[in-house]
Amino acid sequence: MQKVQTDSRIIINMFMKLLPVQIILVAIGSLNGIIDGAMASRLIGSEALTATGLFTPIVTFMNMVNAVMVGGASILCGQFMGKNQVNRTKSIFTLDILMVCGVGLFLTMLCLILPGGVSYFLGARGEMIGKLSEYIRGYTLGFLASMLASQLSSFLQMERQEHLTYVAIGVMLFMNAGLDYLLVGVMGLGMFGLGLATTISNWFFLMVQAIHYFTPKAIIRFDVHSVEKPDAKQILLIGFPGALSQACQMVRGLYLNHAILRFAGEEGMSAYAAISTFGGLYFATIAGVAASSRILISIYSGEEDRAGLIAIMKAALHQGMGLAVVVNAIFIALAVPITNIFYHDPTTEVYRLAVWGFRLFPISMVLACFNLIFCNCFQCTNKVRMVNVLSLVDGLLGTVFTASILYPLLGGMGIWVTQLVNGFYAIIIIIVHAWIVNKKCAIDTESLMTLDKNLGVSERNRVDITIRSVEEVVHTSEQIISFCRRHRIDPKRSYYAGLCFEEMAGNIVEHGFHDGKKHSVDIRVVYKGKGELLMRLRDDCKPFNPQERAELFAPEDVTHNIGLRMVSRIAKSMNYQNMLGLNVLTLQI
């Protein structure tokens, strides 16, 4: 039988559809930070920017919790979707929300009761404790909203409702900018007003996204009756590597707060706060590439589609990293104008440090892109030890080691050089790991992924084909029949398998390929042993549920939609879902 492999067009298209919203979700936090930072430096003073910089480890802690929950929940949901177990997502969603609420409320109470103690812990001293405490009081009431909004954004994308996230982002930015001006500039509430503006805007961000879950359109719903307690453990176990990375960054942030104040003074801390505030925009593209690849990898690992996993990684490394290089090159060119947002006197040390920071920090982000892509790949394919090693080295040990050497030698400039040097450690570890596992030195994508040899179905037991025209349908049907006969499936079932494929694929081509856009259908047929045959059809046409359509017609209407009726009778099971904007139909013949 002629072997025809699938192309990667659908995978690349899915990746590029996921990418914008993932970038925006990360960038939104930075945009709010930029608004707060600009308002703080102009309306309150440079010491206000220093205070917001000291607050960064708390934000990192929230990101750590979000990393556990979003990472674990999205990977599990993707795997269940890949296996057509959509109902299990309700349990995951419900547990995710409940656990986030618990952590968010605890963090809120801690900061409300002990704002001064938290400020001291973060490195504030003297008058800075009072300023940071005011900011914490205003910011704290928005912790829960910010964390829940991050969770909903991930689930909304799985249901192709990301337009709500876009609307919510616009509302939040508008509210934050307006409230910053009102509460700080007009009402004179200072640092408390600055934090309160962010709190209120975070609640609006949450409420706009939550609208979807009160409508009949919602597929994934909050349902305590669907909860399966073991799922909570799975969420935490799968999400833990991401949490470890964020935990390392939190500890690193605390270390850097003290080290920068010691070797570069308040000017170095203020410059670091400015770069950290704006740095989220640099990081947004990188994090978006990593998150998009994570979602797709979780789905394709659930399908045990080895070729698909490799195609996803290639898309992330080529298209994703290419975009990251372009975006960060633009930021480097704009280093001086960006610095002018925060500081206005080029003769000051803080201005000089900030300019160099805005020039060098983006380079380290490109290196981080490579590391994050592979870290997410390892997390989704259960290589937890490798993720933990990368998290410890890239998130903490590499920075602390390099900073301990460069800060005393270079002062403020050591901050940026440390970030640059640190990016190479994880790359070296990934290459060495692949060398050890593969027992050869190779730096191609598949070798660096170090996928388990048993992952996926062998070539002998599967057929992967891409259909682009009606002429290919009949020929592929013959290939499927031949594939069945080779595995000693009886002639009648072999014929039925080809017939089911021909009817369903032909229906997709006939009705979905005529909207002026370029489409294709990815076909996978898998022999599972003991005569079990699975067929999956994935297309990027308009949503169409053949299972639902076949059930709409009365039994006595024997002539209408006869093809769908025939397939529903022949197949032992027929499952449909619209996943990430794609129609996915799975048949058991």
Q: Give 537-572 as a 3 state SS string.
A: EEECCCCCCHHHHHCCCCCCCCCCCHHHHHHHHHCC
DSSP state of 220: S
What gap in Å lies between CA 393 and CA 389, rounded to an integer? 6
Give the residues of the chain that fall short of pLDDT 50: 1-6, 552-559
Rounded Cα gap, residues 232 and 126, in angstroms: 43
Residues 502 and 496: their CA atoms lie apart, in Å, by 10
Q: Are 464 and 454 in contact (CB under 8 A)?
A: no
Query: Which residues neighbour 292 within 8 Å (Cβ) at sequence distance 6 or greater?
Result: 15, 18, 19, 22, 316, 320
Q: What do you get for the CA distance between the two ends of the chain, in Å?
A: 21
Residue 547's pLDDT is what? 59
| CA-based nearest residue to 206, from 162, 144, 160 | 144
Those residues with Cβ within 8 angstroms of residue 212's Cβ, 6 or more apart along the chain or in another chain: 156, 159, 161, 164, 218
pLDDT score for 19: 77
The pair of structure tokens assigned to 474 is 């009949």
Give CA separation, 231 vs 77, 92, 93, 222, in Å. Answer: 11, 6, 10, 15
Query: What local confidence, expressed as pLDDT, does residue 435 receive?
Result: 92
Question: Number of C-alpha atoms within 13 angstroms, CB side, residue 543?
Answer: 9
Quick one: tokens of 418? Answer: 């440390």
Report phi then psi at 527, rounded to 5.
-95, 115
Amino acid letter, residue 286: I
> Residue 535 is inside which H or E element, if any?
strand 532-539
| 231: its two tokens | 């799922």
pLDDT 10s digits, 455-502 = 666 777 888 888 888 888 888 888 888 888 888 888 888 888 888 888
Which CA distances in Å does 315 have to 63, 430, 465, 535?
26, 19, 19, 25
In 3D space, the residue among 580, 540, 585 whose CA is nearest the CA of residue 8 turns out to be: 540
With b meaning 16 or more CB within 10 Å and e meaning fewer, what string describes 404-417? eebbeeebbbbbbb
pLDDT tens string 341-373: 878 888 888 898 889 988 888 888 888 888 888
**Side-chain half-sphere of 232: how many Cα atoms within 13 Å?**
11
C-beta separation of 203 from 145 below 8 A: yes
Cα 522 to chain centroid distance, Å, stands at 24
d(CA 302, CA 420): 36
Q: Give this prediction's pTM.
A: 0.64
Find how far residue 255's CA is from the centre of its chain. 27
**Residue 196: what pLDDT?**
92
Close Cβ partners of 342 (under 8 Å, ≥ 6 residues apart): 37, 38, 41, 49, 274, 277, 354
Task: Sketch out the chain's domains with CATH numbers.
Answer: 9-448 (no CATH), 459-588 (3.30.565.10)
Residue carrying structure tokens 């990192």:
60
